[in-house]
Amino acid sequence: MNLKWLTYSILYASMIKHRYIHFNIYRYGLIYLLLISCISSYEPKLEPDSPKLTVDGWISDQPGTYTITLRYSSPYINNEIVFTRYAENASVTITDDAGGETQLTYEGTGKYQTNPTFAGQAGRSYVLNIMLQDGTFYQSQPEMLKPVPPIDTIYTSYKELSKGFLRGEFSVFFDFMDLAGTKDYYQWDWTHYKLEQYCHITPSHSNEYDFLVANCCGPCWSIDRCYGCINIFSDTYYEDKKISRVPVLKIPYDSKAPYFVQIRLKSLTESAFKFWYIVSEQINNSGGIFDKPPVTIKGNIVNVNNPNDQVLGYFGASAIYEVPIYIDRSKIDKPPYGTAYIYRERPICIECSVGPYRTDRQPTGW
Amino acid sequence: MVKSLRYYLLIFFCLTALLAAAQSQYLRLSGKVYDRESKEPLANANIVFKSSQTGVSTDSTGRFQILVLPGYHVLTVSYLGYKSRTVNVTIENSRELNIALTEELKTLDEVSISSRRSDENITNTQFGTNKLSMESISKLPSFMGEVDVVKSVLLLPGVTNVGEGTTGLNIRGSNTDQNLILMDGIPFFNSGHLFGFFSVFNPDVVNNVTLHKGGIPAKHGGRTAAVLDVKLKSPDTEKWSVNGGAGLVASRVLVEGPVIPEKLSMLVAGRVSYPNYLFRMSSKEEIKTTSAGFYDITTKWEYRVSDKSRIEFTGYASNDDFKLSGDSLSNIEINATSSEFNWQALNGSVAWYKQLGKNLTLRSSAIRSLYKSTISSPDSSNAYTLGSQIRYQSINADFTWQAAPNHELDFGIAVNYYTTWPGTLKPDHPASSINPLQIPRENGLEMGIYASDQWKVSERFSVQLGARYSQWQALGKADKYEYTQGMPRTIESITDTVSYADGDIIRSFAAIEPRVSVTLKVGPTSSLKANYNRMYQYVQQVSNTTASMPSDRWQLCTTHINPQSTDQVSAGYFRNFQNDMFETSAEVFYKSMNNVTDYKDGVNLLLNPVPETAMLQGRGRAYGAEVFVNKKKGSVTGWFSYTYSQTHLKVNGDFPEEQINNGKWYASNYNRPNNLSLALNYKRDNRITYSANFVYSTGRPYTSPSDKYLVNGVYIPNYTGRNQNKLPDYHRLDVSMTIDPNPKKEHRWKGSWTLSIYNIYARKNAYSIFFKTKNDNYALYLKKVNAYKLSVLGTIFPSITYNYKF
C-alpha cells in the first residue's frame, strides 16, 4: 500500500456510476460545456446559518447493531474541525406499527446503537423518536421497510486501458427482476475486502520504491467502498421488467488473484428515493447551465412541536439482499503490470487498526 | 368556435368592402442617393420605376421625391460611373428611401438599403424598438467567426442572458420563452444551434432584425416580453449569384436569382457545421469521442402575380445532432454505450401580398412551424428514444389602410392552432426492458384580432391607439384532473378525472390587450414618448434548469395552468444630433407580470403527466432605465448602451411546498442590474475595417449553501434561500478585422477575410459558482471548501472566415 495506490483506489471508487436514473439528461449539457470550459477553485462569501440537528442512520431486515448518529450541521466554510457538535445523551427509540419499541443506547460522539439482535421486518413501518436533553422532541415520518428482490446474476466485462497504471479493468454488473405490481425503488452498494499482509508501511529514505513494512499480528482485512456514492434506481420506466446491466463497480486488473466483493441491493421507499435523488443531483453539480438550481432538501424528521425548526438528514429502513463474490481475474491472456516496489520486512508485528478502513473480523462469504 | 370564426370573418369582409370604396391616394416616396464609401450625396442620379418606366432625378443635394401608388415596386437607381442598383420596395405609407451606390471600380458585395427615415426614431410613435441591419450585424466580432443574429441583439439595451452558450434572451426582465422569435412571420421555438453557441438564422439570408421590447405593435401577440422580428432579404430579381463563406466550424453557401425574369425569383441558402475535428484535438477522452453537428437550409421564393399582387414562400429546415460515447457518458453518471441528442425544425409559410385599393394593402399568410427534439440511446437492454414536439399552424391576414393623410390603420386577424406532444418514451430495441410511455398530446386554439391607428394629431403630437383581443381555447382530447381543495397539488391529492372528447373545449380565456403610444415632438430633433401595453401568453416552455434546453417541453395553458400576462409602461426621451449622425435615447420602464412560472423544489418535469403538480405560478416585477447612443454615419460607427434594471419574482402559494423563498420576493436567475455594451466599427479604407465590442454586466444571482451535513457518508450542502448570492462581474472584449484584398479590381470572384478574436484578454468570466461534495474523501479529514467557478469560453478564441461572392 503506497500513496500512489491509495489515490488510485480512491479515483476508482469515484468512478462508480449511477444508472440511467430518470434519464438524467441534464448532465449531457455538461459535456458540451467541458469542451470549452474550465473549472477553478473559488472562495465565495457565505453567510453561515445556525447549526441544525442532523439525523444519520438506517435499519434493515438483517440482524445487527444499527447506529443512529445525531450531529449538528457545520457552516459550509469554517475554520474549525467539522462535525464535532453532537446531540448527546438524548433518548432515542425506534417504534414500529405493531407496537414494538427498541431503546437505543448512547455510545458517545453522537452515536446511538441498537442491540446486536435487532432486525426490522419487511412490511412493517418504523418511526425514529428522539428526545433531546432539553426536552425537544423529534420524530421521523413512518418509514416502510419494503421487500427487496434477489440479485440474479453478477458478471463482468474486461476492457484494456491505453494509459495509466493499469493494464485493464473489469466492470461488474448485475441483473435482477423488478418486484411485480408495485412501484419500487432500489439502492445498491459494494464493499471490497482484501486480506492484508502488512499492517504498517513506511517509505524508506533510500528511494521512493523502497518501503519498510511490518506484518500484521493476526488476520486483517482492508475495507474499500464507494464513499459518498449514491446508486439509486426507480422502476418508473421499467415496471415489472428484468433490470439488467446494473453497473456496480470497476475492478483494477492489478493481479490475477480473485477479487472479493460484497454486493448489496437494498429497497428504498419513495420518499427515501426522492431524498437521495435530490442529494445526488446536488452533490454532482457540474456548474453547467443545465444544473437545476439547488434547493433545500427536506428529510423525514420533524420537530413535533415546531414545524419551522429545520431538521436535516434521513432515517431509512431497507431490506437487503447481499451477495459475496470472488471476481475471477485469471482469464486475461496478458499479465497485469508488475510493480517495482521493494518491501523490507521489519522483525515486528503490528495490530490490525480496526475502524472504517480495516477489520480483523472475517467478512461474510470470505 | 366555428361560429365565432365566422363572425370574425364577417367583420373582415365588411371592413374590406368599406375600404375598397375609399379614395385612391398617392404616397410620397422621398430619399437620398449617396456614395457608399464617402457618403457624399449624388446629384442627378436617376431613379426609374420598372413597372411604369417613370422616373425622377436627384437634386443637387442628392435628394429626390416622387408620388407613387402604394404597393410593391421595383426601381432601378443609376449614376454615371457607379454600378446601377435594383431595389425592391413595398410602399405602405409615405417613407424615406436612402440608396447607396458603389463606384464602378470598387464594387463591394453587399447592398445596404436604409428604408427608414434618418430621423424616424424621433418622429414615429414606436419606441422600445431597436433595428439592426445585417450590414451592422456582420461587422460585429463573432465567436468562431460565425455571424450571429441573435447574439448581436445582446448588445442592445435591456437585453441579457444567463451566460455564454445558452439559448435565448432575457429582455427587460422576462424569461426566454416570453419572446416571440419570428423569421418572415414564422415563429421559432428554438433559436440556437449546438445548445445556443450559434444562432439558427443563416446570416447570409437575413436582411434586418428588429427587436420590439416595449410599445409592441398590436399586430404581434402571444408572448409577453418582446418580439424579435428577423426579416429575410428578397431574392435578386436581376441576375444569378452565389455567395458564401467558410469558417472554422461551419460553411455556408447562398444561391439566388431570377427563375422567370420579372416574375419569379428565388434564393436558397445552406449551412453545415463540422466541429468534430476540433473535438479530436482535445486531450480529454470524453471530448475526443463526442461528435456534434448541425445544418440548416433556408429558401425564399417570390412570385409577382401582377403589379399589385405578389406571393412569397419561405421555407426553413434545420437539424442538430449531439452524440456522446459511452466513455464520456460514464463521466456524467449515465451508463450507456452512447447517447444522442437531436433537434429539428421544419418551418414554412406562404404569404400573399395584395394591393386591394389605392391605399389598402393586404398581407395574408399560412404558416406552419414544427419543432421536434429527441434523446436516444441504442444500448440494447436500455435502448430508448424520448421525443417531444410542438407544432404551430396559423392563418392570418394583416391589412394596412391609409385612411386619411394623418391616419394609418393596421388591423387583422390571426388564428393559430398549437399541438404539443410533451413526451413519448419508446423502447428502441427488441431487448430493451424500458416500458413505453406516452404523455398525451395537447391542443390549443389561439385567436387574435387587432386594430391600431397611427394618428398624427398635429405636427408635434401623434398617437398610436391600438388593441388586440386574444382568445385561447384548450381543446380535447384530454383527461384532466381535479385536486383536493386545501391541500398542495400532488399526484396523491387527485380526486377526480374529467375526460374531454376530441375538440371539446377544456378551458378558455379571453383578454383585451391595449397598446397605446404617444409621441410629442419637443424640438426639431427631439421628442418625448410614452407607452402602455398589455400582453398575454398561452404557451410556455417548462424548464427548471438555469438555462432552457433544446429538449425542454412546451406547455399549453389548460386546467390549472393559467395564461401569463404582462403590463408594461415605459417612457423615453429621444434626440438626434449633428444632422442625425447621432441618435440618442433614454428610456425607463416598469413591468408587472402575472402567472410567471417557477417550479417546486426538486421536481422532475420530464415525462411528467401532471405538470401542474410541479409548476408554480407567481408574480414578477421588473423596472429599469436604458440609455442608448448610436453613431450612424462617418468612418467610425457604432453604439453604446447602458441599462440598469431589476427583476424579482414572488411565488407565495397557500402551502409551504408551493412557496419559493418562503413566499418572499427573490431575484430571478437572470437579474443582472448593470449592463453596458459598446460596439464600434472603424472603416480605415476600402480594404480594411476594424470592429470591436465590449460588454460588462453584473453577475447573475446564484444559490449558495449556508451549512453542510453528513448523512450515510455523504457530505450534503444545505441551501436555505434562493438566489441570495451574486456571481463576479462579467466583462469581455472582442475584436475583428475584415480585409478585402482587391477592392478596386473588377473580378467576377470577390473574396474577403474576417479575422475575429473573441474574449481577447482571456477573462475567465464566471459562468456559475457551484458546490460539489461528491467523492471528496479528503473532506472527511480536512476542512476543505469545495466551491468551484465554472468559466465557459474562459480563454481567447481566434478565428478566421473567408467570404466569397461570384
B459-504 residue pLDDT tens:
899 999 999 999 999 998 999 999 998 888 988 889 999 999 999 9
The last residue of one of the domains, among B44, B73, B108, is B108
Interface of B with A in 285-324 (CB under 8 A): 286-287, 290, 292, 322, 324
Given B108, B130, B149, which residue is the final one in a domain? B108
Grouped pLDDT means (10 residues each) for chain B, 806 residues: 47 44 60 79 79 73 78 80 78 79 51 48 74 84 85 90 84 92 94 87 91 91 93 89 90 94 93 86 72 93 89 96 61 53 94 88 95 84 85 95 90 96 86 84 96 92 94 92 89 90 93 94 91 95 81 90 95 90 93 92 83 93 95 89 95 88 89 94 89 93 88 86 89 92 73 90 88 58 67 84 88
Concatenated DSSP letters for A245-286? EEEEEEEE-S-SS-EEEEEEEEEE-HHHHHHHHHHHHHHT--
Give the residue from B54, B47, B49 showing the smallest Cα distance to B72. B49
Residue at B161 is within a domain:
no
**Is residue A273 assigned to a domain?**
yes
Query: 3-state DSSP call for residue B625?
Result: strand
Q: Most B CBs within 10 Å: which of A3, A25, A36, A243, as the mutation test of the B interface?
A: A36
Assess if residue B395 is contained within a domain: yes
Q: Do B783 and A81 touch (CB under 8 A)?
A: yes
Confirm or reject contact between A19 and chain B (CB < 8 A): yes
Q: Which residues from chain A sit within 8 angstroms of residue B551, using beta carbons?
A: 25
CB pair distance less than 8 Å for B703 and A294 = yes
CATH number where B13 lies: 2.60.40.1120
Residue A72 grid coordinates: 449538528
Phi, psi of A270 (to 5 degrees): -60, -40
Parallel, antiparallel, or unpaired for β B226-232 and B179-183? Answer: parallel
Contact list in B for residue A38 (CB cut-off 8 A) is 764, 790-791, 794-795
List, for residues B733-787, the tens digit of each pLDDT value: 999 999 988 776 667 788 889 999 999 998 988 888 888 765 555 544 455 557 8
Of the candidates B489, B439, B679, B517, which has an alpha carbon nearest to the alpha carbon of residue B600? B489
Given an 8 Å threshold on Cβ–Cβ distance, is A14 in contact with B774? Answer: yes
Among A14, A23, A27, which would you mutate to test the B interface (most chain B Cβ atoms within 10 Å of its Cβ)? A23
What Cα–Cα distance (Å) separates residue A336 from each residue in A160, B89, B346? 10, 77, 54
What is d(CA A209, CA B568) in angstroms, rounded to the nearest whole number?
73
| Selection from B147, B120, B126, B128 nearest residue B643 by Cα | B128
CA–CA distance, B180 with B160 (Å, rounded to integer): 16
Stretch (H or E) spanning B670:
none
Mean pLDDT by 10 residues, chain A (366 residues): 29 29 38 58 81 93 93 77 84 94 93 93 95 94 95 91 83 92 92 90 77 90 84 85 86 90 95 91 74 86 91 95 93 83 85 86 88
Nearest to B768 among A282, A287, A310 (CB): A287
Cβ separation A283–B773 shorter than 8 A: yes
With an 8 Å Cβ cutoff, is A293 touching chain B? yes
pLDDT the model gives residue A21: 31
Which of B90, B108, B126 lies at the terminal end of a domain, its last residue?
B108
Residue A362 has phi, psi (to 5 degrees) of -65, 125
Rounded CA-CA distance B332/B219 in Å is: 46
- Contact call for B707 and A238, based on CB within 8 A: no
- B279 contact partners, CB below 8 Å, separation of at least 6: A35, B287, B288, B290, B291, B292
Range of B578's domain? 224-805
Amino acid at B62: G
Count of the separate structural domains present in chain A? 1
CA dist A185 and A281 (Å) reads: 17
Cβ separation of A22 and B194 shorter than 8 Å? Answer: no
Q: Tell me if B454 is assigned to some domain.
A: yes
The answer to whether B725 contacts A45, with C-beta atoms less than 8 Å apart, is yes
Residue pair A232/A186 in contact by the 8 Å Cβ criterion: yes
* CA dist., res. B203 & res. A61, Å (int): 65
Coil/strand/helix, residue B144:
helix
N-terminal to C-terminal alpha carbon distance within chain B: 53
Residues 70-129 (B) with a CB less than 8 A from some CB of A:
none
B194 occurs within a structural domain:
no
pLDDT for residue B71:
76
Q: Do both B717 and B568 map to the same domain?
A: yes
Please indicate, yes or no, if residue A34 is contained in any of the structural domains. no
Q: Does A25 touch chain B (CB under 8 A)?
A: yes
CB contacts under 8 A, A 256-285 vs B, are: 274, 277-279, 281-285
Residue A108's domain spans which residues?
Answer: 3-13+50-359
Q: What angle do CA A257, A262, A265 make, to 5 degrees?
A: 145
Residue A181 lies in a domain: yes
Q: Is B488 on the interface with A (CB under 8 A)?
A: no
Q: Which three cell numbers stand for residue B672?
A: 443582472
Q: Are A327 and A259 in contact (CB under 8 A)?
A: yes
Q: Given 3-state DSSP classes, what are the helix, strand and coil percentages for chain A, each rounded to the nearest 5? A: 10, 40, 50
Q: How far apart are CA B344 and CA B322, in angstroms?
A: 12
Chain A CB within 8 Å of residue B540 CB: no
Do residues B516 and B464 make contact, with C-beta atoms less than 8 angstroms apart? yes
* 32-51 in chain A: CB under 8 A from chain B: 32-49, 51
Q: What is the dihedral of CA A146, A150, A151, A152, to 10 degrees?
A: -140
Query: Does some domain include residue A23?
Result: no
Domain contains A350: yes
Q: Distance between CA A287 and CA B766 in Å, rounded?
A: 10
Interface of A with B in 88-147 (CB under 8 A): none
Distance CA B147, CA B204 (A): 9
As given in the structure block, the three cell numbers for residue B768 are 456559475
* Residue B8 resides in a domain: yes
The reply to whether A179 touches chain B by the CB within 8 Å rule is no
Identify the residue whose cell numbers are 386594430: B451
End-to-end CA distance of chain A: 21
Alpha carbon distance B262, B518 (integer Å) = 42
Q: Which chain A residues are within 8 Å of B332, Cβ to Cβ?
A: 27-28, 30-31, 286
B-facing residues of A in 301-360 (CB < 8 A) are: 310, 312-314
